[in-house]
A = this chain, B = another copy of it.
Amino acid sequence: MAPEDSGLILIATAPDRPGLTAAIAGAVSAAGGNILDFEQHVDPYELIYGCRVVIDGRELFDRLETAMNELQLAHEVSWQLHRSTERPRIVIACSSTLHCVGDLLVRSLSDDLPCEVVGVVSDKDAAASLARRMDVPFVHVPVGEMREAQEEAFGAALELLQPDVVVLARYMRILPAWLAEQWEHRMINIHHSTLPAFPGANPRRRAHERGVKIIGATAHYVTAGLDEGPIIAQDAVPVANDTLEALVQRGEDVERTVLARAVRLHLEHRILVFGNRTCVLG
């Protein structure tokens, strides 16, 4: 059994000040916890301290909770405590392009993504058969005459499914601000370019026309601004004189990996968000 499997994960942030690491590590020690991993950073723009602590022994949950409540009062520390055995609920949204949703579904069958996929939601019906193969409920929210009606229905579907995190796996509709805000820091999108290059529509075609020599993808939290949220994961690979079709395929391989990595980082509580930047720990 991996050490983390029997352990706790503590995330804490606070306005930076001297003594925070000593205080937090001291609190864990006082509660009887052995620290397996401790990683800390201070955001240079927001001057926020953040740390992630892996602690041996899940039986300490209650005592750590008490200890952190005390720290919260003394040092303005915000914190979360997770059992490493949690399997969060996720919903995947997609449209007609299925490589990302397919990849996430097949990963969720194994331990590769420690989560439970509780639904696939789409404005198209292309993914219906795929979801059925995987025994995952499929919710079709087609676009009718009123854009707003579809957005309401999409939001309602999410609320009904009660996921811990929503993954936009090539869901090709622009979300209204209210939805982005409702799921702030709990909704991950994959954009098929190395943002901030090629935001918006058709990034691959524009990359091909521009003659770029690398092709990549970006996973980010969704915010009200299109393709502007905090970046979680990014990668790029070299391309040569590829046709547009070959470049799309190379890019889709990057998308799969980047999106799965971002979801996994989120599930493992490795992402701190400071303003519009993320700090990824470990």
Contacts and interface: CB of A to CB of B under 8 A. Distances in A.
Contacts of A276: 210-211
B40 A38 contact: yes
Contacts of A195: 197, 212
Contacts of A102: 106-107, 109-110
Contacts of A165: none
A71 B231 CA distance: 40
- For the side of the interface on A, what is the size category? 35 or more
A175 B17 CA distance: 47
Contacts of A234: 212-214, 238
Interface in A24-64: 25-26, 28-29, 32-42, 44-45, 51
Interface string A108-148: 01101000000000000000001001100000000000000
A39 to B, nearest CB: 6
A135 to B, nearest CB: 8
A251 to B, nearest CB: 12
A210 B275 CA distance: 10
A98 interface: yes
Contacts of A231: 210-213
Contacts of A76: none
A110 B45 CA distance: 27
A249 B277 contact: no
A169 to B, nearest CB: 12
A65 interface: no
A103 interface: yes
A37 B37 contact: no
Contacts of A34: 17-19
Contacts of A282: 246
A40 B39 contact: yes
Interface in A186-226: 194-198, 209-214, 216, 218
A213 B236 CA distance: 10
Contacts of A19: 29, 34
Nearest to A229: B211
A137 to B, nearest CB: 15
A233 interface: yes
20 contacts: A19-B29, A21-B38, A25-B26, A37-B41, A39-B40, A41-B241, A98-B110, A106-B130, A109-B130, A112-B252, A194-B194, A194-B214, A213-B218, A214-B236, A216-B236, A235-B238, A238-B238, A241-B281, A249-B264, A257-B257
